[in-house]
Structure formats: structure tokens, C-alpha cells
Structure 1
Amino acid sequence: MLTLPEVCDELQISRSTFYDWRQKNRAPRCIKLPNGELRIRRMDLDDWLDDCEDVA
């Protein structure tokens, strides 16, 4: 499971951009822990990236 900073670093986006995408239902699937922190499964991030791929 990846932390939010790890995902933002990999995607080269800011935390605010990630939260904006999440609010618009455009972010990868997240798991909210009891302490409020978010985690993203590697598989969910990879699937999301595959879905974002533009077929030229």
C-alpha cells in the first residue's frame, strides 16, 4: 500500500491536485484508515493509470 506522498511523488502532482481529482472522482481508489490517512493499493494505482492511457 502506498501513502499519499508516495503517490503524489510518482505522479508528479501536488497533494491539492490529488484531493481535487478525488473530489471529482478522477483519482485512483483510496482506502481511508481509522486515523484519517489515505492509502492506495499499488494494483489500484496501476489499474487507474491503465485506464488513463490514451490510445493513439
Structure 2
Amino acid sequence: MSATRDEMLTIPQVVKEIGVPRATFYRWRQLKKGPKAIKLPNGAVRIRRSDLERWIETLEEAA
């Protein structure tokens, strides 16, 4: 990880960035096909920017 902290994205930020409906993102999570996520003690879910980018790279390789 670089000297700057890895940005923690919310679900709305992620779905806006990748351009899919929220329901699709949750289905991917349920099927373990989405990016690695962190569940906070209050139940909120966050995705590290680096994990999102790594996940997108795996999709490029599979295409």
C-alpha cells in the first residue's frame, strides 16, 4: 500500500463507478463473485479502492 491510505468506498459509490444496479451488486456479493468487502461493526459494507481495482483487473483477464 502506498503512503496514502487506501480509500474505503460505500456500496453507492461502487455501483455508480462500475455502472450496475445495486441489486446486481448484492447478488454478486451473495454469489461470492464481487470484489472483496469489509463489513463494519455497525453493519455497513465498505470496499477498498485497491480491492475494487484488483477485482476489475481479474474481469479484464477473463474477457
Q: TM-score, normalised by structure 1?
A: 0.92
Identity rate of aligned residues, in percent? 52
* Residue 45 of structure 1, aligned match among 52, 55, 63: 52
Q: Which residue of 2 aligns with 1:31?
A: 38
How many pairs were matched up?
A: 56
Residue segments in structure 2 that go unaligned for 5+ positions in a row? 1-7
Runs of 4+ in 1 over 4 A off after TM superposition: none
Please give the root-mean-square deviation of Cα atoms over the aligned residues, in Å.
Answer: 1.4
Greater C-alpha Rg: 2
**Taking structure 1 as reference, are residues 37 and 50 closer, same or farther at Cα in structure 2, changes over 3 Å only?**
same
Deviation at 1:41, TM superposition (A): 0.2
Query: Residues 55 and 30 from structure 1, CA distance in 2 versus in 1: closer, same or farther, beyond 3 angstroms?
Result: closer
Q: CA deviation at 1:55?
A: 6.2
Q: TM-score, normalised by structure 2?
A: 0.82
